[in-house]
Amino acid sequence: MQLFFILLISLIDVSSGLLQSTPTLKNRIVYDNARIPVDVAYSLTQQRSKSGSYEIMSLTSNKEVVPYICHLPADKEVNISKPIHSATSELKQRAIDIIQETFDNGNCSLAFNIQAGYWTVGYCFGDKVMQFHEDLIDFMSGNHKAQLPNHVYVLGKFPNVKPYKQTEIRNQRGGQRVKLDPRDFIVFDGEFGSFGDHEVDYSTNTQKFIKHTLGNGEICDLTLQPRTIDIVYKCDQVFGKPRIMEIQEIKTCQYQMIVNVPKLCQIEEFRKNLIHENIINITCKRIDEKENKSTETVSYDTFFDYHSPNNSESQIAKIKNEKIDLNQFHINPIGDGFYLGSLKEEYKTDLPYWNTRVIAMNSNQIDDKDLLNRFGKLFLNAMERKFPSPVMITDNIATTLQWNDSFIYWIEMFDIFGNYIALFKMARDGKVDNHEVEFHKINAVNEENLMGFNSDLSYFNHPNKNWNFEFFKRNQESSSI
């Protein structure tokens, strides 16, 4: 299961009120960064309504125990019948036929800068899966060319491929007819996330996937065994086009690649079938233990009058224990346990900052003192490969930061649960002939320091609309942003 900010858990304290119907209801905690005064929170626990009730809970955030007031909706009748799917030979063959129909065209599907933020990966149906280094200009032109011609690595080959002397960046199966053996495929239930595989919540997800394992890849220098890759084909109704979605090296020289096949959505079992009626949202808001509003009249609806802080004045100041919803971001690995995230289209608003910002995530269990050093080294190694610049090639493809760029670059970092960790500032003068970047790390501020923090960072409302950049100039250009 993906590690979302919205956590699927069972609440022991409220189980007696949620187990009256069958099947068992699932509780989903939705965190809200609104602040509710402590006396208002305690008054809310005394409110009773047919719509629900309130309880105070202590939840962990950034390794600290933080009090929240949570709204528990009243139980409701649930009438669902969970689909019963079986991986029959007929189902498997239908899926294989769709895969072959989609990709059996003699071409390769390529994804740029995807594997560890460094490789172009090519999926050549009936032939091979390969990876190589490539310039963005070559990728965009369609005239694919490896920077190092002798370093085009085969991660796995389709069965019965005739041998060839040299690996080329094209489909080399020639006129061979691709014949797929259903015994090489496995249909299964599951879910995939950027942070690894996790136990599946089968009560809310009944989607099926089909996996094809390819062997006979290049010999791995570390294991002295051929590389292997699991190609997992899935229906993603949002992703749209048939192409590579992500690839990870799950073990040394063993890979897992997720490929979207839109036509698989024609088969009910392969569509994502979330049983939303079986989930109850429990909204929790922070309790402000320093504020009292004893004169306020509290009713059942008072809880909903408190909203998350308005970020229009300060779009970057982050206070301790604030959270974001990682489910709203596209998440891509950049190496060493770090990830970059960009907001999904459906969550974008009229505020330019929220639409264009890139965030960082850290999945490592490392000391706070080592975080700057680890992230700084990764940033240097990923220059010209992974971190996007504000210079766009198309509406959704950006060039990467170059060593000859001058910039002041800010990025927020969160953990894999959406807890805010720190703010990083990276600055460079691209006219200097070296590979050095100035790094700063600003820890989460306390609420009492928030006002001073805001005034110091007022430029984050910069009119250039190219957050994360306070300043950027590409030395070939005559103007900066």
SS3 82: coil
Instruction: Give the CA distances from residue 177 to residues 100, 105, 202, 204, 448, in Å, rounded to whole numbers and listed in that order.
Output: 11, 11, 38, 40, 69
SS3 184: helix
Contacts (Cβ under 8 Å, ≥6 apart) of 85: 91, 189, 206, 208, 269
Six-digit token string for 307: 């909203």
Gap between the Cα atoms of 11 and 106, Å rounded: 53
Residues facing 232 on adjacent strands: 211, 258
Residues 1, 191 contacting (CB under 8 angstroms): yes
Secondary structure percentages of the chain, helix, strand, coil, to 5: 20, 35, 45
Helix (H) or strand (E) holding 400: strand 397-400
Gap between the Cα atoms of 257 and 248, Å rounded: 7
Q: What is the pLDDT of residue 425?
A: 87
Residue 203 has pLDDT above 70, yes or no: no
Q: What is the pLDDT of residue 206?
A: 62
Gap between the Cα atoms of 382 and 360, Å rounded: 13
Give me the CATH topology for the region 326-474.
Answer: Diaminopimelate Epimerase; Chain A, domain 1 (3.10.310)
Residues facing 420 on adjacent strands: 414
Determine the average pLDDT of the residues in 153-170: 90
Q: Which residue has the tokens 């805010």?
A: 420
pTM reported for the whole predicted model? 0.49
Question: What's 369-393 look like in SS3?
Answer: HHHHHHHHHHHHHHCCCCCEEEEEE
Top mean pLDDT of 28-37, 306-315, 461-470, 471-480 is at 28-37
Gap between the Cα atoms of 53 and 410, Å rounded: 42
Gap between the Cα atoms of 264 and 256, Å rounded: 19
Gap between the Cα atoms of 105 and 31, Å rounded: 47
Q: Which residue has the tokens 């059942």?
A: 300
Q: How much is the mean pLDDT over the chain?
A: 75
Q: What is the pLDDT of residue 429?
A: 93
Tens of pLDDT, residue by residue over 332-355, are: 778 788 888 888 777 776 665 566
Helix (H) or strand (E) holding 96: helix 89-103
Amino acid at 225: Q
Residue 159 has pLDDT above 70, yes or no: yes
Give me the CATH topology for the region 89-270.
Answer: Cation-dependent Mannose-6-phosphate Receptor; Chain A (2.70.130)
Using CB atoms within 10 A of its CB, is residue 18 exposed (0-12), middle (13-18) or buried (19+)? buried
Q: How far is CA 424 from the centre of its chain?
A: 20
Q: Which of 109, 84, 95 is nearest to 264 (CA)?
A: 95
Helices (H), 260-358: 352-356
- The overall longest dimension of the chain from CA atoms, in Å, is 83
Q: What is the pLDDT of residue 157?
A: 95
Residue 276 has pLDDT above 60, yes or no: no
End-to-end, the C-alpha distance of the chain in Å comes to 41
Using CB atoms within 10 A of its CB, is residue 402 exposed (0-12), middle (13-18) or buried (19+)? middle
* DSSP symbol at 76: -
Residues facing 122 on adjacent strands: 110, 130
Is the four-CA dihedral 187, 332, 149, 105 of positive or negative sign?
positive
Amino acid at 137: I
- Fold: same for 89-270 and 326-474: no
Q: How far is CA 219 from the centre of its chain?
A: 31
Gap between the Cα atoms of 337 and 334, Å rounded: 8
Question: Radius of gyration over alpha carbons of the chain, in Å?
Answer: 25
- Where along the chain do its domains lie? 26-78+278-305, 89-270, 326-474
Q: What is the pLDDT of residue 213?
A: 93
Residues 157, 133 contacting (CB under 8 angstroms): no
Tens of pLDDT, residue by residue over 294-343, are: 656 889 999 988 876 544 344 444 555 567 777 778 887 787 888 888 88
Instruction: Give the CA distances from residue 134 to residues 107, 144, 435, in Å, rounded to whole numbers and listed in that order.
Output: 18, 7, 21
Is the four-CA dihedral 167, 168, 170, 172 of positive or negative sign?
negative
Q: What is the pLDDT of residue 201?
A: 44
Tens of pLDDT, residue by residue over 102-136, are: 999 899 999 887 755 568 899 999 999 999 988 77
Cis omega before residue 163 (within 30°)? no
